[in-house]
């Protein structure tokens, strides 16, 4: 999957001083050592020293290049720049007090684990106090995983943002932007991260033998998560036992067939009995004996990771599946019953554990989402961490994660009502949301940590986060200021005698300010503008809301409104106001009712269009009757009589449908007297600036306004080409309810070409539109679609293009490659297979394979499907409807068939199916060159197929094995070794056309003699894909700086050795 462009490089770290020359060694290879100069009589010792110096110099140069490749910038500024692009970062922190993590694309698995590690106080404290970044030992900052974890944990602990980024951490993993969109398993990440931390810390220990480096490695990688497991086998006759001690960091537990974690642990630690053919050779007894083989815990870590094995492989379907079985898990767990005898005597309470993290997977085996329930050791409360979202949850939410069906609960008050499955927003609802990883902490008052003070954060890290916080708070304040800003355009009339001559000035305010504060700001600006003189300083002023379009003004706010905030008064971010002052103790218009304007758009029947709008000024308490009377009096609206006026209004509720409704408050026969009390604003929601559409007529006749709106609503823009050009540079606006025939005629008139001289094709699929009576909407043309004009005579709707290919070698390994077309012509859409047989016999008599055929039933016709010969077609099948379904299915524009010439008349019936069978030779790792055609009843079983194959191939029935291959396995020889991985043991009672194969005519099966040994080639590192392998999911890799450094050093040393040998 192609990813977005790579991110800018991270900040630079100070360059390292050049390392000292190394000890003598082999001479440097050509091109690696320094350029020669001075005397050429250097000794081997000197030359070797120079070569080693060049090795160290190259490594130092690489480190410096890694540093200089990054952008030298203030981390806090980089953070703020990123945050300013996403308003979510400026939201208030969760009431829990914890910080969420941003999902980079598909990094929910990472977020769940990071939050779990952060909420592990011992780990966080150890990381803060036991690791001190040293550029010379740990490499550049942006590639140092422990340092990036320190910084991320510090952001989660003392950061001001509600959400933290993980990009710096994933860059230290060596991830690219594309990796952020790759899903991975959280348990795999836990393992790889532990390995990377151990590698990073032990690398420092190798260079710096200090106790601090050793302590850091032990505390952060060994003490916390590592335990010891005894793998043993014990003779049941003499008691001799062979043991091996292994290190473990997590415990995989089966979920199928168990009800609880305790049962799963019991199953895990219960030994298997080796008996019969599986008996073990005891060295003490000198012969094979019954034995017990099992695993037992010898030492348990401080933090116990239990993985519930919910993902499995289904051999019947060759698919990865998820097991959603219900498995309960306790909040308190005692591990004493599962200890091996080698663990020594311990009190039961020494192995008490408490649950504190549940990492949850929601979804299926091929993808899903991770989130986590984590208990805070500081508060004891459970918290849900779901990427950026952080919230409290109840204890019963944890039970929802057991799996299986959700627990039942009572709904409502009816005692007789049956319980219903409980659902929970926190749980995500559904059956596929369940616990995947559980993390328990050992209860030990001497070592348990419950809180980590911020003073434990390393000083350099704490100072950086404080700088980020300062920059973030500035950005947040600026964001809030922009978010809450209200920009007012304040109008006023410089000359009270000319109230229509208006000017304006701008005032910026905030939605939390009061109207009184805004009024004072307006007074201040008005004084600067000269609207208010020194004599007017004591003159009262006031504000009204104003319609900038119509210039009408609303009722003035009262003195009670002065203390209200602009938010409470429903101010919009862009607000128009009118400022007025008292004159002679009175505000202008105090004794008048404010005006409103209604825009009336008349429909011109003659021109079939809407005329320009006419503004009608009324009082804000005007009635519908008053509006109609004004319309009747205006020549600009054609003075339509009151009873012939039809008014339509497109309200906000009707805007989605795009059709206005006629204003008929009392039906179509309402009298003028009935309209008098109907108020435009109060009753009809016709406010200042509203638009109504007018037409002359009565409610009994179809409305021209509605028709015109429907036309506009259904109008789409289509792009097309001239028949002499392939460039889609022409456009047309057309009603999508028109037919293809009408569209074609319209385009023909525009390009000046007869409709019989071009085909109208779908621009995307290049298929001709043949059903000309269908509408543009019915054939899938939408706004912005393209249609293609292709020169040539259109194909009639009752014709189908037919191509017939001859299969000359029907039993060849790849018959579809040995074909040639014997017929390519337009046929009647009603032609049947029986008609086609007779037609082929007549027109193809010149072809040698058909020349001597007299009986049409020797011509077998099969559907061509995905390049293979599929089902056999019977006489009554209509050719143009092959592959369609339903009685109303339209004929296909083109169809391709295979023709087989049989040595005898066709005998296969409708109730039978034909399969291609090919033999597999396991010992040779080869397929038979020839394919066998087998005819079986459609309801046949696999046992019947085996019976049919046994005798002709000299294989006893019990040794016949059959499998269904994947297409890729038969195409390339290098894929043949994957045939061994097929499921050769399908139940004999399974039907051919049912689970698990669901075979169709022409499908290919393989069979083999199970007595032949399978000789597999040596495994290749590039084995390709195969059943069960998920090609779309790459293995998770964390590449530390030291991995890259080691690779370079190994390459240089190998080159030096080669040069030394050649000298």
pLDDT at 913 over 70: yes
Give the pLDDT score at 307. 96
Average pLDDT over residues 222-249: 90
pLDDT of residue 944: 93
- Terminal C-alpha separation, the chain: 47
CA quadruple 498, 502, 507, 510: dihedral positive or negative? positive
- Digit-coded pLDDT (tens) for 110-162: 999 999 999 999 999 999 998 889 888 888 999 899 999 999 999 999 999 99
Q: Which residue has the tokens 């034909």?
A: 914
Taking the C-alpha atoms of residue 630 and residue 948, their distance in angstroms, rounded to an integer, is 94
Q: Rounded to whole angstroms, how far apart are CA atoms 746 and 749?
A: 5
CA dist., res. 983 & res. 726, Å (int): 52
Lowest-confidence pick of 374-378, 405-409, 916-920? 405-409
Residue 484 confidence (pLDDT): 93
Predicted confidence (pLDDT) at residue 95 exceeds the cutoff of 60: yes
Q: Token digits for 47? A: 């030359």
∠426-431-432 over CA atoms, to 5°? Answer: 85
Helices (runs of H) and strands (runs of E) counted in the chain: 22, 44
| Residues with Cβ within 8 Å of residue 413, at least 6 apart in sequence | none
Tell me how far CA of residue 460 lies from CA of 117, 128, 285, in angstroms. Answer: 21, 11, 65
pLDDT at 664: 86
Higher-pLDDT residue of 928 and 27 is: 928
In this structure, of 373-382, 751-760, 763-772, 1024-1033, the range with the lowest mean pLDDT score is 1024-1033
Residue 680 DSSP class? T
pLDDT-derived band at 719 (thresholds 50, 70, 90) equals: very high
Tokens coding 653 = 């509720």
pLDDT of 786 higher than 90: yes
Q: What is the pLDDT of residues 536-551, one digit of tens each?
A: 778 888 999 998 888 8
For 837, which DSSP code?
H
Among 104-118, 341-355, 771-785, the least confident range = 341-355
More confident residue, 988 or 64: 988
Digit-coded pLDDT (tens) for 980-1008: 888 888 888 889 988 888 898 888 999 99
Q: Is the pLDDT of residue 669 over 80?
A: no
If DSSP codes are grouped into helix, strand and coil, which group holds residue 186? helix
Phi and psi of 574, rounded to 5°? -115, 110
Start-end of H helices in 446-558: 459-484, 515-529
Q: Above 80 in pLDDT, residue 388?
A: yes
Split at pLDDT 50, 70, 90, the class of 221 is low
Q: Residue 81's pLDDT band (boundaries 50, 70, 90)?
A: very low
Task: Give pLDDT, residue 10.
Answer: 38
Q: Name the residue with tokens 């994660």.
A: 401
Per-residue pLDDT, 49: 37
Among 5-9, 648-652, 691-695, 859-863, which is the least confidently predicted range? 5-9
Supply the pLDDT for residue 1062.
Answer: 64
Q: Which of 244, 252, 251, 197 has its CA nearest to residue 221? A: 197
Q: Say whether 1013 sits in a helix, a strand or coil.
A: coil
pLDDT of residue 372: 97
* Average pLDDT of span 719-723: 93
User: Is-contact 279 289, C-beta < 8 A?
Assistant: yes
pTM over cut 0.75: no
CA distance 136 to 684: 78
Provide CB contacts within 8 A for 300, sequence distance 6+.
227, 335, 339, 351, 442
Over residues 190-204, the mean pLDDT reads 81
pLDDT band, residue 9 (cuts 50/70/90): very low
| Maximum mean pLDDT: which of 786-790, 825-829, 929-933 | 786-790
Spatial separation of the C-alpha atoms in residues 932 and 927, rounded to whole Å: 12
Taking all residues of the chain, what is their mean pLDDT, rounded to a whole number?
Answer: 81
State residue 4's pLDDT score: 37
Instruction: Report the pLDDT averaged over residues 353-382.
Output: 93
Torsion over CA of 338, 342, 345 and 348, rounded to 10 degrees? -10
pLDDT value, residue 170: 94
Identify the pLDDT of residue 161: 92
pLDDT band at 464 (very low <50, low <70, confident <90, very high): very high
Residue whose pair of structure tokens reads 């010898």 in the numeric block: 298
pLDDT by residue (tens digit) across 884-895?
776 666 777 788
**pLDDT for res 281:** 94
| pLDDT tens-digit readout, 25-62 | 333 333 333 333 333 333 333 233 333 444 455 445 44
How many residues in total does the chain contain? 1063
Lowest mean pLDDT among 327-331, 388-392, 610-614, 828-832: 828-832
Query: Is the pLDDT confidence value at 809 over 60?
Result: no
* pLDDT at res. 72: 38
Residue 962 has pLDDT above 90, yes or no: yes
Predicted confidence at residue 345, as pLDDT, reads 67
β-strand pairing of 485-492 with 503-510: antiparallel
The answer, yes or no, to whether residue 219 has pLDDT greater than 60, is no
Best-predicted range by mean pLDDT (312-316, 643-647, 699-703): 643-647
Kindly report which listed range (9-18, 494-503, 549-558) carries the lowest average pLDDT score: 9-18
Task: Give the lowest-confidence range in 396-405, 493-502, 763-772, 814-823.
Answer: 814-823
* CA angle (223, 227, 233) in 5-degree steps: 160
pLDDT of residue 429: 37
Residue 106 contacts residue 182 (beta carbons within 8 Å): yes
Q: What is the pLDDT of residues 417-440, one digit of tens each?
A: 544 444 433 333 346 899 999 999
pLDDT of 880 reads: 83
């Amino acid at each position: 999957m192609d990813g977005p462009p790579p991110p800018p490089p991270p900040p630079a770290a100070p360059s390292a001083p050049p390392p000292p020359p190394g000890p003598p060694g082999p001479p440097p290879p050509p091109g690696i050592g320094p350029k020669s100069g001075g005397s050429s009589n250097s000794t081997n010792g000197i030359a070797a020293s120079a070569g080693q110096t060049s090795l160290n110099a190259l490594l130092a140069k690489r480190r410096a290049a890694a540093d200089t490749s990054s952008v030298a910038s203030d981390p806090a500024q980089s953070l703020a720049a990123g945050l300013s692009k996403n308003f979510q970062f400026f939201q208030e922190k969760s009431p829990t007090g914890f910080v969420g993590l941003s999902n980079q694309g598909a990094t929910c698995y990472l977020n769940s684990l990071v939050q779990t590690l952060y909420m592990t106080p011992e780990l966080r404290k150890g990381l803060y106090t036991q690791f001190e970044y040293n550029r010379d030992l740990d490499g550049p900052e942006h590639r140092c995983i422990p340092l990036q974890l320190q910084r991320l944990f510090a952001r989660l602990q003392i950061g001001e943002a509600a959400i933290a980024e993980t990009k710096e951490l994933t860059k230290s993993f060596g991830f690219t932007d594309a990796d952020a969109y790759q899903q991975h398993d959280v348990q795999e990440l836990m393992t790889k991260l532990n390995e990377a931390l151990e590698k990073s810390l032990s690398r420092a220990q190798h260079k710096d033998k200090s106790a601090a480096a050793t302590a850091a490695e032990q505390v952060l990688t060994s003490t916390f998560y590592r335990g010891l497991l005894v793998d043993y086998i014990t003779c049941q006759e003499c008691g001799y036992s062979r043991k091996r001690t292994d290190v473990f960091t997590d415990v995989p537990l089966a979920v199928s067939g168990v009800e609880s974690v305790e049962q799963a642990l019991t199953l895990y630690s219960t030994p298997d009995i080796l008996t019969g053919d599986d008996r073990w050779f005891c060295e003490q007894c000198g012969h094979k004996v019954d034995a017990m083989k099992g695993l037992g815990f010898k030492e348990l870590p401080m933090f116990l990771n239990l993985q519930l094995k919910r993902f499995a492989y289904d051999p019947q379907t060759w698919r990865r599946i998820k097991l959603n079985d219900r498995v309960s898990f306790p909040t308190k767990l005692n591990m004493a019953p599962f200890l091996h005898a080698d663990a020594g005597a311990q009190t039961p309470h020494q192995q008490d554990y408490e649950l504190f993290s549940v990492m949850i997977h929601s979804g299926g085996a091929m993808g899903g989402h991770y989130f986590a329930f984590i208990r805070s050791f500081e508060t004891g409360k459970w918290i849900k961490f779901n990427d950026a979202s952080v919230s409290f949850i109840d204890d019963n939410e944890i039970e929802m994660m057991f799996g299986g069906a959700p627990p039942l609960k009572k709904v409502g008050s009816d005692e007789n009502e049956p319980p219903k499955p409980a659902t929970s927003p926190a749980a995500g609802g559904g059956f596929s949301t369940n616990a995947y990883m559980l993390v328990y902490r050992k209860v030990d008052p001497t070592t348990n940590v419950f809180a980590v003070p911020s003073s434990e954060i390393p000083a350099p890290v704490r100072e950086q986060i404080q700088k980020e916080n300062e920059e973030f708070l500035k950005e947040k304040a600026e964001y809030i200021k922009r978010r809450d800003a209200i920009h007012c355009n304040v109008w006023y009339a410089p000359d009270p005698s000319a109230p229509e001559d208006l000017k304006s000035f701008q005032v910026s305010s905030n939605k939390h300010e009061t109207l009184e504060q805004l009024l004072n700001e307006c007074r201040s600006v008005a004084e600067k503008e000269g609207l208010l003189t020194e004599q007017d300083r004591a003159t009262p002023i006031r504000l009204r809301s104003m319609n900038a379009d119509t210039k009408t003004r609303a009722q003035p706010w009262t003195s009670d409104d002065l203390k209200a905030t602009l938010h409470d008064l429903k101010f919009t971010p862009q607000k128009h106001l009118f400022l007025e002052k008292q004159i002679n103790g009175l505000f202008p218009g105090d004794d008048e009712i404010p005006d409103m304007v209604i825009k009336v758009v008349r429909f011109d029947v003659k021109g079939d269009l809407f005329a320009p709008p006419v503004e009608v000024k009324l009082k804000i308490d005007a009635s519908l009757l008053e509006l109609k009377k004004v319309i009747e009096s205006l020549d600009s609206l054609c003075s339509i009589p009151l009873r012939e006026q039809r008014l339509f209004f497109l309200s906000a509720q009707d805007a989605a449908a795009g059709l206005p409704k006629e204003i008929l408050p009392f039906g179509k026969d309402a009298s003028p007297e009935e309209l008098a009390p109907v108020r435009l604003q109060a009753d009809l929601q016709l406010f200042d600036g509203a638009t109504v559409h007018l037409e002359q007529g009565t409610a009994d006749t179809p409305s021209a306004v509605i028709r015109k709106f429907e036309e506009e609503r259904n109008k789409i823009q289509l792009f097309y080409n001239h028949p002499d050009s392939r460039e889609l540079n022409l456009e047309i606006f057309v009603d999508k309810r028109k037919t293809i025939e009408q569209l074609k005629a319209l385009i023909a008139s525009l390009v000046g070409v007869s409709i019989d001289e071009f085909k109208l094709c779908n621009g995307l699929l290049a298929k001709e539109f043949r059903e000309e009576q269908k509408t543009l909407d019915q054939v899938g043309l939408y706004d912005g679609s393209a249609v293609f004009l292709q020169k040539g005579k259109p194909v009639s709707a009752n014709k189908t293009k037919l191509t017939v290919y001859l299969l000359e070698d029907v039993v060849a390994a790849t018959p579809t490659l040995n074909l040639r077309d014997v017929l390519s012509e337009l046929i009647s859409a009603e032609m049947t297979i029986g008609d086609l047989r007779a037609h082929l016999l007549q027109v193809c008599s010149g072809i040698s394979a058909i020349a001597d055929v007299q009986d049409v039933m020797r011509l077998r016709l099969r559907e061509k499907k995905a390049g293979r010969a599929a089902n056999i077609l019977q006489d009554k099948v209509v050719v143009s409807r092959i592959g369609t379904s339903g009685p109303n299915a339209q004929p296909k524009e083109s169809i391709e068939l295979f023709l087989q010439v049989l040595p005898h008349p066709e005998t296969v019936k409708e109730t039978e199916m034909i399969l291609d069978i090919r033999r597999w030779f396991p010992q040779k790792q080869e397929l038979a060159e020839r394919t066998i055609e087998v005819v079986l009843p459609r309801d046949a079983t696999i046992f019947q197929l085996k019976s049919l194959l046994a005798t002709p191939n000299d294989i006893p029935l019990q040794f016949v094995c059959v499998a269904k291959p994947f297409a890729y396995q038969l195409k390339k020889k290098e894929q043949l070794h994957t045939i061994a991985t097929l499921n050769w043991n399908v139940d004999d009672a399974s039907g051919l056309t049912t689970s698990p194969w669901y075979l169709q005519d022409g499908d290919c099966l393989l069979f083999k003699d199970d007595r032949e040994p399978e000789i597999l080639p040596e495994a290749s590192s590039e084995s390709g894909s195969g059943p069960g392998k998920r090609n779309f999911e790459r293995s998770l890799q964390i590449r530390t700086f030291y991995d890259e450094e080691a690779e370079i050093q190994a390459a240089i040393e190998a080159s030096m050795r080669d040069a030394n040998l050649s000298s």
